[in-house]
Amino acid sequence: MTTNETLAQYSDWAFRSAFAVFLLALILLIVQYASTRAQALQERELVSDGVGARSVGTVDSADVPGRVAMQPEKPISERFGGMGSAVLVVGTVLIIASIVLRGLSTNRFPLGNMYEFVTMACAAALVVGLALLSKPGYRSMWVFLLVPVLVLMFLSATLLYADAAPVVPALRSYWLPIHVTIVSVGSGVFLVSGISSLLFLLRVRYPYGEEGTGIFAWVAERLPDAQTLDRLAYKTTIIGFPLFGAGVILGAIWAEAAWGRFWGWDPKETMSFIAWVIYAAYLHARATSGWRETKAAWINVAGFVAMLFNLFIINMVVSGLHSYAGLT
């Protein structure tokens, strides 16, 4: 099986272009984020001072026949937020294109090494973000979602990068596109969930209406309310939990076909099971009175940390049966 070097090159170019586009989107959304609170304060001051209110006896230009009313200019936060959202869509299309081109260049499913796995997980997180964070009120969260996505993409393009090539014999199975796709998509969904819980804890620490100083208070006052962040974390975990659980079960079935046993307490298997149990504990705590707020959120953060540990430390440091991820 040969590799189409031209398509492989196009895949790399699409990945790098996506990284640059996401970096531009992050800059635009940071401007939107920084100007959101300032704009809101300015509007409240104008209302309190009576600016813009119609005085008694005055005539609005819209009331004069034949005269076109002037449309109010959009706030700077809304303009930059709209541009950032449009750029996000372009970047998501590019990263999906890089995945498709990588698969076409090697005539296999593009999940044969860590570079491809992390790329798929980032794409899944972005698609979920576009689906759930499309409302203007959620745009502020994109700043915090794009930062880990860009970090993961940078690590993929440097430390984890592997040339497009056929997979090792252990991965030449029809289980590859089934098991690894489900796990990578579930990991991407958990990325959104973990960020939501972290922001929820920050928002609870600095609620609206309370005076706060420092960078954390400045960040928190521009976030959605705590209840919204908590619901988003719960909603995304509800999506990711069965996906990741199905991935673990299908991985056990593949292990039986490849190694003659369903479960062998391999480090990757063990850590995946631990992460799944932590997320099960989060869902249980989220439905339990007295645990459903900050305590449950900390459990969700623990699950997020376990996922990152499983992705990097287990794959890159610990030796096991899953140590064929394209790392040297």
CA distances from 191 to 26, 73, 186, 240 (A): 17, 36, 9, 10
DSSP letter for 320, please.
S
pLDDT of residue 65: 53
Q: Tokens 């969260």: give the residue.
A: 141
CA distances from 269 to 168, 240, 252, 266, 311 (A): 20, 18, 8, 5, 12
pLDDT digits over 34-70, tens only?
887 644 444 444 334 444 444 444 444 444 555 544 4
How high is the pLDDT of residue 149? Answer: 94
Residues 244, 303 contacting (CB under 8 angstroms): no
pTM here?
0.80
What's phi and psi for 159, nearest 5 deg?
Answer: -70, -40
Going along the chain from its start, the domains and CATH numbers come out as 1-47+76-167 (1.20.120), 172-328 (no CATH)
Here the tokens at position 120 are 């798929």
Residue 207 confidence (pLDDT):
72
Q: Is pLDDT above 90 for 258?
A: no
Q: Which residue has the higher pLDDT, 59 or 74?
A: 74
Rounded Cα distance, 262 and 254, in Å: 8
Query: Residue 4 carries which side chain, given as an amino acid letter?
Result: N
**What would the pLDDT profile of 177-236 be if each residue is shown by its tens digit?**
888 888 888 888 999 999 999 999 999 887 754 555 677 787 888 888 888 899 999 999
**pLDDT tens for each residue of 76-119:** 767 777 788 899 999 999 999 999 999 999 888 888 888 998 99
Which pLDDT does position 308 carry in this prediction? 86
* Per-residue tokens: 175: 């289980």
Mean pLDDT, residues 229-257 taken together: 88
